[in-house]
Structure 1
Amino acid sequence: MTAGAPRTDAERGRVLRAVLREHAVPSAALRAEGLIDEIPELAALARTPQDPSWHPEGDVLVHSLWAADLAAEHAMQTDAAPGDRERLVLAALWHDIGKPDTTRRRDGRITSYGHAERGSEIVRALGRRLGLPGALTRAVGEITATHMAHASVTGEPSARAVRRLRDRLHGAGTSLEDWAVVVRCDGLARGVAARPDASVPWLRAARRLEERRGAGSS
């Protein structure tokens, strides 16, 4: 980042999009470009602690940048198109953006109840302010809103739950597969507390739905 007049929000949005689409390690590029300091919603993540039993890796910014890097790695490995890569990396970066507003200390624990829903609201407002495409903002907002859906289910999700989530994501211009990438990156970006991929049962159930539909139409 070069010194000079402060960038406008629209300029920040353009730089952010270039990082999302082009850089192999988004976390390093975001820091180099100064975007973390220039976008208050990102700066707030560094001031937001997490329960160390769930997130020993550190604050919300550490976790979110790690998740974004993992999403970029996935996009490279799968040769994702630039627009698909942009959506995945941004959703991973912003998936916990609601935590600064919802993080509380309760009975000696750090909680962030409702952060997914609040995060979706922030994503939509921030996307508009930065001049991001509406389709991108809607998709990332919906992934953010639903990235904890798996936590409400023990074991295998019902066909109804999977269908509802799949249709909700599709209606926002994204997919269960995109959601699964963000859920996977969220679980991995925790260091020694990394969790098994919570998206697997949902993708498995979605495949069964497709198989049944195919059998019914044959």
Structure 2
Amino acid sequence: MTAASARTDRERGEQLRAILRGTGVPSQRLRDDGLIEEIPELAALARTPQDPMWHPEGDVLVHSLWAADLAAQHADETMPPPPQDARELLVLAALWHDIGKPETTQRRNGRITSYGHAERGAEIAVALGRRLGLPVPLVRAASAIIATHMAHVSVAGRPSPKAVKRLRDRLRAAGTSLEDWAVVVRCDGDARGAAARPDASIPWLRVAATLPPLLES
């Protein structure tokens, strides 16, 4: 038994947090530290295929690690020096945004689908965060982003002010923001490589800018 495999879940959680909050490329540090193999929910991502039309980059793990790296890059480049809490949330939400796909992926008429993966992913994130001993506020915020990271798919064109306000308020109640959500949505899209599309969060942010400002509680 290796020293890594002998770690407890709490110790794995502490190491995960160190990677999320620290410097460097998260995907490389996760691989080097053996955390992907030690956390079953992450290991399962490598066994979960994606429709090559929408995800030519590869399986769910390839996509999720790429998204996490992009989120870390965003934090490091736009918030110098990046607040550790902000970097931790963005990278965790990006890393786990598709964690529900292993349980929801199916082949339908020759295509690969994962309907409901966002909602299921949020549930898995809560349970996994509890098992790893991650801070409750961090897990609550990340799970809210995970649950809603596909919200833009159900809206064609410009979202309504009501839809944007509903999403903004839900995220705020969970301790995060529409801006954090937008970063994860952007990273999710960019981590599709050749299938990347224009940033789906931009219309939502534009509408949000027209809403009355949030009152500080």
Please indicate the TM-score interval, normalised by the length of the shorter structure. Answer: over 0.9
SS at match of 2:153: helix
**Mapped contact 2:5–2:38 kept (Cα < 8 A):** no
How much has 1:78 moved relative to structure 2?
1.3
**1:127 maps to what in 2?**
129
Q: Give the equivalent residue in structure 1 for 2:153.
A: 151
Q: Report the alpha carbon displacement of residue 46 of structure 1 after superposing the two structures with TM.
A: 0.1
Question: Residue 183 of structure 1: which of 179, 182, 185 is its match?
Answer: 185
Mapping of residues 14-29 of structure 1, within 5 Å: 14-29=14-29
- Segments of 4+ moved more than 4 angstroms: none
Q: TM-score, normalised by structure 1?
A: 0.95
CA positional deviation for 1:141 = 0.4
Per-residue deviation, 1:201 = 0.1
**TM-superposition CA deviations, 1:148-185 (whole Å, max 9, x none):** 00000000000000000000000000000000000000
Aligned match of 1:142 in 136, 141, 144? 144
Residue 85 and residue 5 in structure 1: after superposition, are their counterparts in 2 closer, same or farther (change >3 A)?
closer
Corresponding residue for 1:13? 13
Structure 1 residues 56 and 172, CA gap change in structure 2 (3 angstroms): same
Note the alpha carbon deviations across 1:6-56, whole angstroms, 9 max, x for none: 100000000000000113200000000100000000000000000000000
Q: 1:208 — aligned with what?
A: 210
Instruction: Please tell me whether the aligned partners of residues 48 and 59 of structure 1 are also in contact (alpha carbons under 8 angstroms).
Output: yes
Give the deviation of 1:5 after TM superposition.
6.3
Structure 2 match to 1:76: 76
> Which SS does the other structure have where 2:112 is aligned?
strand
Instruction: Tell me what 1:167 maps to.
Output: 169
SS at match of 1:208: coil
AA aligned to 1:201 is: P
Is residue 58 from structure 1 mapped to residue 55 from structure 2 by the alignment?
no
CA deviation string 1:176-208 (max 9, x = no partner):
000000000000001111111000000000001
TM-score w.r.t. length of structure 2 = 0.95
Contact 1:24 1:73 in 2 (8 A): no
Residue from 111, 114, 126 that aligns with 1:109: 111
Distance (Å, rounded) in 2 between the aligned partners of 1:6 and 1:67? 29
Q: Do the aligned residues in 1 keep the contact of 2:97 with 2:149 (CA within 8 Å)?
A: yes
Percent of paired sites with the same residue: 73
C-alpha RMSD of matched pairs (Å): 1.4
- Going from structure 1 to structure 2, the CA distance change for 1:208 and 1:137 (only over 3 Å counts) comes to same
Distance in 1 separating the partners of 2:72 and 2:48: 24
- How many residue pairs get aligned? The number is 212
Query: Are the equivalent residues in 1 in contact too, given 2:45–2:101 (CA < 8 A)?
Result: yes
